[in-house]
Structure 1
Amino acid sequence: MPLDWSDRLDDLDWEELSALYRAAPLGNKAPAWLQQAFGNSMFRCFVRKDGRLVGAGRALADGVDCSYLCDIAVMPSHQGTGLGKQIVERLVERSRGHRKIILYAVPGREPFYKRLGFRRMRTAMAIFDDQAQAFERGYLDET
């Protein structure tokens, strides 16, 4: 059966989306948190196979200057099939016209995104709510 692509929020099962992020594994993201995050995102992408959610992603964007791709998740059963690439490509296409498209990735996934045209920034910086955990997981440099 073919993949079913959507950007609609009205029929989304937030519990199912939360389960996708745990399985991906991209952490424990509560359904209410996801509902607010995806609701505030200009671009969204949901992928179902046989009625089951197997992929998702979103982009925060202002319409002119910056689009920020984040929360790209694919069920382990569909990882390595090109689905993640297709999600990123769709979000990039929807983000065309912005002066820059930025992506936040899990450490170690940079080669995947480099193949899709993304390059490492020299000036990106962050403040995390749990700085120690961010260091531990490889998101921040010591310097």
Structure 2
Amino acid sequence: MPISWSFDIESIDWQVLEDLYRVAPLGNKSAAQLQTVFTNSRFKCFAYNGTELVGAGRALADGADCSYICDVAVLPTWQGTGLGKGIVNRLVEASSDHKKIILYAVPGKELFYKKLGFLRMLTAMAIFKDSDAAIARGHLSKT
């Protein structure tokens, strides 16, 4: 069955989305948190195999200068099939009128995003709520 795409949140089952992020694995994000962040994101992308949600992603964007692609998740059984690439490409296309498109990658996935045209930022900085945990996971460096 071919993948179908949706770009709005009207029919999202937030519990199913929570389960997707947990098994992807992109951490434990509650249904309520996901509803908040997707509602507040300018662009959304959902991939379905029939009625099964198999992938998702979003982009925060200001409409002109900066779009930030984040939370790209694919069910493990669909990883390696090009689905993640499809989600990212659709979010990049939606963000194409922005001067810059930024993406936050899980450590170890940088090569995947490089193949999609992303380059490493040398000046990016961040403050995490739990910086010690972020350092341990490889998201931050004190150097």
TM over 0.5: yes
The residue that corresponds to 2:39 in the other structure is 39
Instruction: Give me the whole-angstrom Cα distance separating, in 1, the residues matched to 2:131 and 2:8.
Output: 34
Instruction: Give me the whole-angstrom Cα distance separating, in 1, the residues matched to 2:96 and 2:11.
Output: 27
Please give the per-residue CA displacement for 1:33-79, whole angstroms capped at 9, x wherever unaligned. 00010000000000110211000000000000000000000000000
Matches within 5 A, 1:117-128: 117-128=117-128
Instruction: Give me the whole-angstrom Cα distance separating, in 1, the residues matched to 2:123 and 2:41.
Output: 24
Please give the per-residue CA displacement for 1:2-28, whole angstroms capped at 9, x wherever unaligned. 111001211110000000000100000
Instruction: Give me the whole-angstrom Cα distance separating, in 1, the residues matched to 2:17 and 2:62.
Output: 24
TM-score, length-scaled by structure 2: 0.99
> 3-state SS of the aligned residue for 1:111?
helix
Instruction: Give me the whole-angstrom Cα distance separating, in 2, the residues matched to 1:102 and 1:29.
Output: 21
The residue that corresponds to 1:93 in the other structure is 93
Matches within 5 A, 1:1-143: 1-143=1-143
| Aligned CA-pair RMSD | 0.6
Instruction: Give me the whole-angstrom Cα distance separating, in 2, the residues matched to 1:15 and 1:72.
Output: 17
Identity of aligned residues (%): 63
Instruction: Give me the whole-angstrom Cα distance separating, in 1, the residues matched to 2:137 and 2:114.
Output: 20
Amino acid at match of 2:33: W
Amino acid at match of 1:45: C
Instruction: Give me the whole-angstrom Cα distance separating, in 2, the residues matched to 1:38 and 1:30.
Output: 12
Aligned length: 143
Instruction: Give me the whole-angstrom Cα distance separating, in 1, the residues matched to 2:111 and 2:50.
Output: 31
Amino acid at match of 2:60: L
Runs of 5+ in structure 1 lacking a partner?
A: none
TM-score, length-scaled by structure 1: 0.99
- Structure 1's consecutive aligned runs of 4 or more residues displaced over 3 angstroms after TM superposition are none
Runs of 5+ in structure 2 lacking a partner?
A: none
Instruction: Give me the whole-angstrom Cα distance separating, in 1, the residues matched to 2:82 and 2:11.
Output: 25
Instruction: Give me the whole-angstrom Cα distance separating, in 2, the residues matched to 1:122 and 1:85.
Output: 24
